[in-house]
């Protein structure tokens, strides 16, 4: 009987690698995680340059030792493909997560490295359904692996006394920033001044969101961010049409999520949808009247357990590793 490959997950995106390794190890699989980035920054003094050189050498030694103990590498994000382009050389999977293949792949300066990764990987994966056309442009047999949602780490849903609608994503074009601003304007008109609108102070559209009455909060560590989501009566998902990790986590907490999803991306998704910003605002306003009842009707956790359960995805990924040899 062939031994199961020792897999090293390198780097991460939205804790996908960490979650897969956590549940993989729980199932007895020989998976590990290397998420230490090389030292950055510049040094001008002799002591500073010596310290940076020593730190870089230590990082290289740790990277090499981790790779040598592995049979197969799982690289998260095409932008990090350089980590496997030097010795020691091992077979690797390349996992696209978003901007790397959606945007950077089409930049002349970045494309050669990303294409090299796709060409030399034993398998290419992508994490959200909107990435299919881009991933398949780089590698025709690229495979969709849904993001795992770790329900164990999600806090209890504790809504604030004052009704609150939270915009989960940054105000950026890659997240449908302009559409989000239009929705913020429609929501302000639909729900009135008694409902608080909150969003992240992040992205080039954040100042405009503030002008529309959205209270901006600073970026925060993941545990605080999850508790922030759990304070909402309704969460507004990104306008890019996909359930990214933030939207999935809100669904797992139980908060009703309002957003427009890409056609054919998901089967019976547990989100409130509409074909215009006015329809989405109306759906959010209706959910505010009965958040718990709306959540029960959407049955989001049941849907997550069917489509984004880490235990199931670990089994599927183990099959991918085995097929990769």
DSSP class per residue in 172-230? SGGGTHHHHHHHHHHHHHHH-TTSEEEEES-STTHHHHHHTTPEEE----HHHHHHHHH
Region 273-296: mean pLDDT is 97
pLDDT of residue 127: 98
pLDDT of residue 175: 67
What is the C-alpha separation between 114 and 134, in angstroms, rounded? 12
Mean of all residue pLDDT scores within the chain? 94
pLDDT of residue 7 exceeding 70: yes
Q: How confident is the model at residue 9 (pLDDT cuts 50, 70, 90)?
A: very high
Tens digits of residue pLDDT in 10-33: 999 999 999 999 999 999 999 999
Tens digits of residue pLDDT in 52-110: 788 878 989 999 999 999 999 999 999 999 999 988 999 999 999 999 999 999 999 99
Region 143-169: mean pLDDT is 97
pLDDT of residue 2: 61
Phi and psi for 245 in degrees, rounded to 5? -60, -40
Region 34-58: mean pLDDT is 75
pLDDT of residue 106: 98
pLDDT of residue 325: 73
Q: What is the pTM of this model?
A: 0.93
pLDDT of residue 265 exceeding 80: yes
Tens digits of residue pLDDT in 236-261: 999 889 999 999 999 999 999 999 99
pLDDT of residue 321: 97
Tell me if residue 163 falls in helix, strand or coil. coil
Region 116-127: mean pLDDT is 98
Instruction: Give 119's DSSP letter.
Output: H
Region 155-182: mean pLDDT is 91
pLDDT of residue 177: 77
pLDDT of residue 1 exceeding 50: no
pLDDT of residue 161: 97
What is the C-alpha separation between 276 and 165, in angstroms, rounded? 18
**What domains are defined for the chain?**
7-148+309-324 (3.40.50.2000), 151-306 (3.40.50.2000)
pLDDT of residue 45: 65
pLDDT of residue 121: 98
Tokens coding 149: 């949602």
pLDDT of residue 39: 78
Region 277-287: mean pLDDT is 97
pLDDT of residue 324: 86
Percent of the chain with pLDDT over 70: 95
What is the C-alpha separation between 106 and 155, in angstroms, rounded? 39
Given a contact cutoff of 8 angstroms between Cβ atoms, the answer to whether 146 and 313 are in contact is yes
Region 176-180: mean pLDDT is 82
């Amino acid at each position: 009987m062939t031994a199961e490959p020792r897999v090293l997950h390198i780097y991460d995106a939205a804790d996908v690698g960490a979650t897969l390794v956590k549940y993989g190890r729980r199932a007895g699989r020989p998976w590990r995680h290397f998420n230490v980035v090389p030292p950055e920054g510049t040094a001008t003094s002799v002591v500073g340059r010596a310290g940076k050189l020593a730190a870089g050498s230590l990082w290289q030694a740790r990277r090499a030792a981790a790779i040598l103990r592995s049979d197969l590498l799982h690289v998260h994000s095409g932008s990090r493909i350089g980590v496997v382009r030097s010795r020691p050389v091992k077979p690797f999977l390349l996992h696209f997560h978003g901007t790397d293949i959606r945007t950077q792949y089409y930049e002349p300066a970045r494309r050669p490295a990303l294409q090299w990764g796709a060409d030399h990987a034993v398998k290419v994966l992508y994490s959200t359904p909107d990435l299919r056309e881009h991933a398949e442009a780089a590698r025709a047999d690229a495979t969709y692996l849904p993001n795992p949602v770790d329900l164990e780490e999600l806090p209890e849903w504790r809504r604030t006394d004052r009704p609150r609608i939270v915009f989960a994503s940054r105000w950026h074009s890659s997240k449908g920033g302009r559409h989000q601003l239009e929705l913020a304007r429609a929501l302000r008109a639909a729900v009135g001044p008694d409902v608080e609108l909150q969003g992240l102070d992040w992205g080039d559209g954040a100042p405009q969101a503030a002008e529309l009455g959205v209270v901006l909060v600073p970026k925060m560590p993941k545990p605080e961010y999850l508790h922030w989501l759990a304070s909402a009566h309704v969460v507004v998902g990104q306008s890019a049409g996909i359930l990214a990790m933030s939207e999935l986590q809100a669904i797992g907490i139980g908060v009703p999520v309002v957003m427009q999803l890409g056609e054919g991306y998901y089967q019976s998704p547990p989100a409130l949808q509409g074909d215009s910003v006015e329809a989405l605002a109306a759906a959010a306003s209706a959910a505010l009247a009965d958040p718990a009842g709306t959540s029960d009707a959407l049955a989001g956790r049941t849907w997550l357990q069917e489509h984004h359960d880490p235990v199931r995805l670990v089994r599927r990924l183990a099959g991918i590793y085995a097929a990769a040899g």
